[in-house]
Amino acid sequence: MASAAPPRLSDLLAGTRALALAGLAKNTGKTETLAAILREHAAAGRLVGVTSIGRDGEEHDVIDARIAKPRVRLQQGGLVATTGALLRSSGVAHERLLQTGVRTPLGEVVLARLSQAGTVEVAGPSAAADLRTVSDAMLELGAEQVLIDGSIDRRAASSPAVADGLVMATGAILGEDIEAVVTATSDAVDLVRLPAASAPAGAGRADATTGAPAGAEDDGRVVVDRRLALNAEPAQIAALLREHPRAGTFVLDGALGERFLEGLLAARSERAGRELRIVAGDPTKVFLSSRGPRWYARQGVSIEVLQTISLKAITVNPVAPQSHRFDSQTLRELIEAAVSDVPILDVLDDSYLALAK
Q: Tell me which residues touch another protein (CB under 8 A).
A: 53-55, 58, 62-63, 83-85, 88-89, 101, 103-108, 123, 126-130, 151-156, 159, 211, 213-215, 225-233, 236, 253-257, 259, 281, 284-285, 287, 289
- Which residue number, 15 or 211, has a Cβ lying nearer to another protein? 211
Which residues touch 186 (CB under 8 Å, ≥6 apart)? Answer: 292, 335, 338, 339
The least distance separating another protein from the CB of residue 331, rounded to whole angstroms, comes to 24
**Residue 336 CB coordination number (10 Å):** 17
**Residue 180 CB coordination number (10 Å):** 11
- Which residue number, 40 or 282, has a Cβ lying nearer to another protein? 282
What type of residue sits at position 81?
A
The least distance separating another protein from the CB of residue 225, rounded to whole angstroms, comes to 6
The least distance separating another protein from the CB of residue 208, rounded to whole angstroms, comes to 9
CA distances to 9, 82, 186, 313 from 37, rounded to whole Å, are 6, 19, 23, 12
**Residue 136 CB coordination number (10 Å):** 13
- Which residue number, 11 or 59, has a Cβ lying nearer to another protein? 59
**Residue 228 CB coordination number (10 Å):** 18
**301 three-state secondary structure:** strand
- Which residue number, 153 or 179, has a Cβ lying nearer to another protein? 153
The least distance separating another protein from the CB of residue 126, rounded to whole angstroms, comes to 4
**Residue 115 CB coordination number (10 Å):** 12
- Which residue number, 194 or 228, has a Cβ lying nearer to another protein? 228
The least distance separating another protein from the CB of residue 127, rounded to whole angstroms, comes to 4
The least distance separating another protein from the CB of residue 341, rounded to whole angstroms, comes to 26
- Which residue number, 13 or 156, has a Cβ lying nearer to another protein? 156
Minimal CA–CA distance to 312: which of 351, 343, 276?
343
